[in-house]
Amino acid sequence: MASALLRVVFLVVSALWILPQITLAKHARVTRHYKFNVKLQNVTRLCQTKSIVTVNGQFPGPRIIAREGDRLVIKVVNHVQYNLSIHWHGIRQLKSGWADGPAYITQCPIQTGQSYVYNFTVVGQRGTLWWHAHISWLRATVHGDWWKADTEAVINQAMQTGLAPNISDAHTINGLPGPLYNCSAKDTFKLKVQPGKTYLLRLINAALNDEMFFSIANHTLTVVEADAVYVKPFKTNIVLITPGQTTNVLLTARHKPPHASFVIAARPYATGPASFDNTTTTGLLEYKNNKTSSLPNTKLPLFKPKLPIFNDTVFAMKFNKKVRSLANARFPAKVPKTVDRRFFFTVGLGILPCSKNEKCQGPNNTRVAAAVNNVSFVMPNTALLQAHFLNQSKGVFTTDFPANPPIKFNYTGTPPSNIMVKSGTKVVVLPFNSSVELVLQDTSIIGAESHPLHLHGFNFFIVGQGVGNFDPKKDPPKFNLVDPIERNTAGVPSGGWVALRFLADNPGVWFMHCHLEVHTSWGLKMAWIVQDGKHRNHKLPPPPSDLPKC
Ligand SMILES: *[C@@H]1O[C@H](CO)[C@@H](O)[C@H](O)[C@H]1NC(C)=O
Ligand SMILES: *[C@@H]1O[C@H](CO)[C@@H](O)[C@H](O)[C@H]1NC(C)=O
Ligand SMILES: *[C@@H]1O[C@H](CO)[C@@H](O)[C@H](O)[C@H]1NC(C)=O
Ligand SMILES: *[C@@H]1O[C@H](CO)[C@@H](O)[C@H](O)[C@H]1NC(C)=O
Ligand SMILES: *[C@@H]1O[C@H](CO)[C@@H](O)[C@H](O)[C@H]1NC(C)=O
Ligand SMILES: *[C@@H]1O[C@H](CO)[C@@H](O)[C@H](O)[C@H]1NC(C)=O
Ligand SMILES: *[C@@H]1O[C@H](CO)[C@@H](O)[C@H](O)[C@H]1NC(C)=O
Ligand SMILES: *[C@@H]1O[C@H](CO)[C@@H](O)[C@H](O)[C@H]1NC(C)=O
Ligand SMILES: *[C@@H]1O[C@H](CO)[C@@H](O)[C@H](O)[C@H]1NC(C)=O
Ligand SMILES: *[C@@H]1O[C@H](CO)[C@@H](O)[C@H](O)[C@H]1NC(C)=O
Ligand SMILES: *[C@@H]1O[C@H](CO)[C@@H](O)[C@H](O)[C@H]1NC(C)=O
Ligand SMILES: *[C@@H]1O[C@H](CO)[C@@H](O)[C@H](O)[C@H]1NC(C)=O
Ligand SMILES: [Cu+2]
């Protein structure tokens, strides 16, 4: 796949790249050192200058490049007024759970003026992954959408009112909104291609709250990789990508340079009841010829792509079905064939009563919440991994997370009249090497909605998906155990379900949450504890000495 002809272009750059290992013998594993100075930087977009949190002053942030087998040592120094942590999204973190990054799950935050060294290896993964802040809404400015308001103020206001947060003002391609926004024409991403060449585009949905359709006018894309796993290549004009997912596509430029420019466009796929940022970010695909650096493009006709209607769930489900593992001899799909533990989780919205000191504004003194199996997760005051490692879970978490919904109902039909959820810090404990089957079922409480669920520490195989309620008798025989896609983030279909399998072969505490940040804030999250195995190599090593304290 990595031919010398490929040009690498990145559409959202705050990424973590993993180059395929060519031969283990010839390429010594190396340690690559990076320093992330987290600091404020003034950035101007849409005629507004805003001081935002950045890494090394860059928006989008810097790129990390590694080769399979390498060790990454990244020193993160916090120079801003907020607590901070960084997550290496999709990295397996084999026996390095202390470096995973979600605040209050695997570490206490790095406080102002402090630093922490993330130290981990990249094993058995190749393609595009990314990194982002993993606390409150700080990942917004490191890359992703553009908000005129301060995103920390936006989420704080929403948590106080108990209502939906304000929506973003623009989507961006590599931090650039493009000409469909006011005062933004000069901030347009341009992809200049040479006739006849093939380009690899690394797509990352870094938006906070919106799944996106992506397309380039008059050009077919070939999907070759998803979440750092090779897929059976397939052609498409439109890519669907949820927050948290990455997709590598090949773009072949025409042999004869056309006398035209082509719009690159992305806008949301949205299914939920709340309003969303329904704007379109655009960039331009332009052809270079060999003689001049660029064709004169002032009067070139401009072609625009056609994107599906914003709520096209039929397209979404069809697209997701096409994404299959390459599953060949060199890159096999190691789908667990037997199941030790089965779980059925409902995911969706609900309400919670306002606590006494809150002035929340939902109906009957309630706030909007989100839950998994009716439990809205409450962030602990100390990191779960530390509490687990030190055997000090008392007062921090309980291990009674329900394996099944407490009440059975028609999940995608008329919701129950009582839409109250409960809150708690509950986890599931799994013995080392358990093979797990997990069905995630959307509910229609408040409104059916597609939820991109992200699991830390593992890739899972998406063995099935469907509309309506999962049928434990009729659906499992149809599961694909041959070449299902393996990834770290799965879109639970709006008003439907998705079935996942994974092998719990990595001891630690692993967060699972909706990657729509608004739903995470409302509690659509939980954690798995994977116990140590018996063998010396199957135990989580002790924490590094600089692990932040709460
Ligand atoms: C951003 O601009 C403001 C106003 O010009 C200035 O006071 C502030 O120091 C700048 N901040 C940074 C981080 O450059
Ligand atoms: C990173 O971890 C490795 C393996 O535990 C260790 O040898 C190395 O000293 C660590 N590096 C830093 C900078 O902490
Ligand atoms: C959210 O939007 C409302 C209505 O436009 C506005 O009054 C409020 O200030 C905004 N909140 C933030 C934090 O920007
Ligand atoms: C651009 O500005 C005009 C005039 O201020 C306003 O009517 C329009 O809604 C704005 N468009 C966008 C996309 O914000
Ligand atoms: C682009 O596609 C449109 C619609 O299919 C077609 O009319 C147009 O001729 C194409 N333009 C180029 C330069 O290929
Ligand atoms: C979103 O924008 C598209 C056009 O870009 C429009 O057709 C659609 O109705 C809008 N949807 C909503 C919910 O505003
Ligand atoms: C332009 O470059 C391509 C590949 O680099 C080559 O095949 C082609 O012959 C060149 N065309 C001209 C007109 O020089
Ligand atoms: C999508 O939105 C349109 C326009 O609001 C609506 O008529 C249609 O019923 C919606 N489709 C689905 C599948 O929700
Ligand atoms: C609020 O409570 C009243 C009385 O219990 C009930 O009749 C009403 O339906 C409730 N409203 C909502 C939106 O739940
Ligand atoms: C659940 O509700 C949907 C929508 O109202 C309905 O079509 C379906 O038949 C119901 N399923 C069951 C098992 O009652
Ligand atoms: C969720 O928990 C609340 C609080 O215990 C309860 O009132 C409600 O019936 C439960 N709902 C479901 C669907 O399990
Ligand atoms: C930062 O984190 C520490 C440890 O959890 C906490 O005590 C402190 O209140 C937090 N500070 C801010 C500004 O959130
Ligand atoms: Cu969600």
**Above 70 in pLDDT, residue 19?**
no
- Which residues are near ligand 12 (CB < 6 Å)? 83, 108-109, 111, 550
**Above 90 in pLDDT, residue 75?**
yes
**Got the DSSP string for 138-178?**
THHHHSS-B-SS-HHHHHHHHHHHTSPPPPPSB--BTTB--
Atom 6 in ligand 4: which residue has the minimum CA distance? 182
What average pLDDT score do residues 27-38 get? Answer: 89
Q: Is 364 in the pocket of ligand 9 (CB under 6 A)?
A: yes
Measured in Å, how far apart are the chain's first and last C-alpha atoms?
45
Tokens of 125: 């993964």
The closest ligand to the CA of 195 turns out to be 7
Comparing CA positions, the residue from 329, 324, 334 lying closest to residue 231 is: 324
pLDDT classification of 49: cutoffs 50, 70, 90 = very high
pLDDT tens for each residue of 373-382: 999 999 999 9
Q: Is 409 in the pocket of ligand 6 (CB under 6 A)?
A: no
The closest ligand to the CA of 135 turns out to be 12
Q: Is 301 in the pocket of ligand 9 (CB under 6 A)?
A: no
313: Cβ contacts below 8 Å, ≥ 6 apart? 271, 450, 493, 494, 495
The CA distance from 265 to 78, in Å, is: 35
pLDDT tens for each residue of 248-307: 999 999 999 898 999 999 999 999 999 999 999 999 999 987 555 554 556 789 999 999
Cα-to-centroid distance, 311 and ligand 6 (Å): 9
**Above 80 in pLDDT, residue 8?**
no
Q: Indicate the top mutation candidate among 157, 160, 161, 168 to test ligand 3's pocket, ranked by most ligand atoms within 8 A of CB.
A: 157
pLDDT tens for each residue of 159-196: 999 999 999 999 999 999 999 999 999 999 999 999 99
Tokens of 129: 């992954």
**Above 70 in pLDDT, residue 2?**
no
Give the pLDDT score at 12. 44
pLDDT tens for each residue of 386-435: 999 999 999 999 999 999 999 999 999 999 999 999 999 999 999 999 99
CA 55 centroid distance within chain: 19
Cα-to-centroid distance, 255 and ligand 7 (Å): 9
Instruction: Name the fold adopted by 341-538.
Output: Immunoglobulin-like (2.60.40)
CA 500 centroid distance within chain: 16
Atom 3 in ligand 9: which residue has the minimum CA distance? 364
Atom 9 in ligand 7: which residue has the minimum CA distance? 290
Cα-to-centroid distance, 262 and ligand 5 (Å): 10
User: What global pTM score does this model have?
Assistant: 0.94
- Which residues are near ligand 10 (CB < 6 Å)? 410, 412-414, 469
**Above 50 in pLDDT, residue 231?**
yes
Q: Evaluate whether the domain defined by 172-322 bears CATH number 2.60.40.420.
A: yes
Pairing of strands 375-377, 422-424: parallel
Atom 5 in ligand 5: which residue has the minimum CA distance? 218
The CA distance from 295 to 536, in Å, is: 62
The sign of the torsion formed by the CA atoms of 36, 38, 41, 46 equals positive
Instruction: Name the fold adopted by 17-149.
Output: Immunoglobulin-like (2.60.40)
pLDDT tens for each residue of 497-544: 999 999 999 999 999 999 999 999 999 999 999 999 999 999 999 999
Closest atom of ligand 7 relative to the 289 alpha carbon: 1
Cα-to-centroid distance, 312 and ligand 6 (Å): 12
Give the pLDDT score at 485. 98
Q: What is the location of CATH 2.60.40.420 in the chain?
A: 17-149, 172-322, 341-538
Q: Indicate the top mutation candidate among 276, 309, 317, 442 to test ligand 8's pocket, ranked by most ligand atoms within 8 A of CB.
A: 309
The sign of the torsion formed by the CA atoms of 168, 214, 496, 512 equals negative
Q: Which residue in this structure is represented by tokens 């997370």?
A: 401
Q: Length of the chain, please?
A: 550
Q: Which residue in this structure is represented by tokens 């507004």?
A: 48
**Phi and psi of 158, rounded to 5°?**
-65, -40
Cα-to-centroid distance, 301 and ligand 12 (Å): 54
Q: Which residue in this structure is represented by tokens 């040592």?
A: 73
What average pLDDT score do residues 85-92 get? Answer: 96
